[in-house]
Amino acid sequence: MGIAIAVVLLLGLAVSVTGWFVTRNAGLPEPPAARPAPEHNALALVEPPGAPGPTGPFSLASLRNEVSLPQPLVDVLTTAGMSDGVRKTGVQKDITVGLYAVTTGDPAGAVAAFGDGQESAGLTTERDLSLQGVAVYGTPVGVPRARFGAAYVLYDRVVVVTAVETTGAGDADGVVRDVFRATLDRQVDLAPPTARD
């Protein structure tokens, strides 16, 4: 009798997990079809809006000290290996936009780690901005220093798009969200995700 109950519970858990994997992308818009892999990371990124900020290649060592990405993502890149990284940043009014392309041995793990880092920083999933294969995270409305971020797999790369409001005024008028959305849309049009789950 005890074994039968355990079997039923395990089957129920298996069905629940399978249902979660099948439905987590349900209802999300589909991004454009994948394109050929960019020759190098700089060609994988659009130009950010605004005045140019720190831009160019970076190494794993500089990622640990100078480039602002969530620590769980840095940990995965350290473990899986990072062969090449490029960032492009721009400042538009009080919003800093960052775009990053990193070649790694575990792009899917890097994307998952990015999401973990966003959630541990208090950001929540923004389902209305997300696409299949591109989970978007954002600060709740009314929080000072509004932030939005997304990461996705592009062949052997992880692509990260961020927008941060720098004055602490929040995003009551939705400007940070709009700048992030426009940048993400242009980025996904240039280099759509190659993993959709």
pLDDT for position 50 = 95
pLDDT for position 67 = 72
Contact predicate 152/191, CB 8 Å: no
Is it the case that residue 21 has pLDDT exceeding 60?
Answer: no
User: Mean pLDDT across the stretch 176-192?
Assistant: 96
User: Mean pLDDT across the stretch 114-130?
Assistant: 94
pLDDT for position 39 = 94
pLDDT for position 10 = 44
Indicate the pairing of strand 51-52 with strand 56-58. Answer: unpaired
CATH 1.10.1040 fits 32-190, yes or no: no
pLDDT for position 27 = 86
Query: Which amino acid makes up residue 97?
Result: V
Q: Please give the span between the terminal C-alpha atoms of the chain, in angstroms, as a whole number.
A: 38
Is it the case that residue 105 has pLDDT exceeding 80?
Answer: yes
Instruction: Quote the crossing angle between the two packed helices 71-80 and 107-120, to the nearest 10°.
Output: 160
The string of pLDDT tens digits covering residues 154-164 is: 999 999 999 99
- When comparing pLDDT for 168 and 196, which is higher? 196
Q: Which residues contact 37 (CB under 8 A, 6 or more apart)?
A: 154, 155, 156
Domain limits, the chain: 32-190
* Residue 145 falls in which region: left (phi positive, over 0), alpha (psi -120 to 50) or beta: left
| Cα dihedral sign, 42-44-45-46 | positive
Structure tokens at 29: 């818009």
| Three-class HEC string of 64-105 | HHCCCCCHHHHHHHHHHCEEEEEEEEEEECCEEEEEEEEEEC
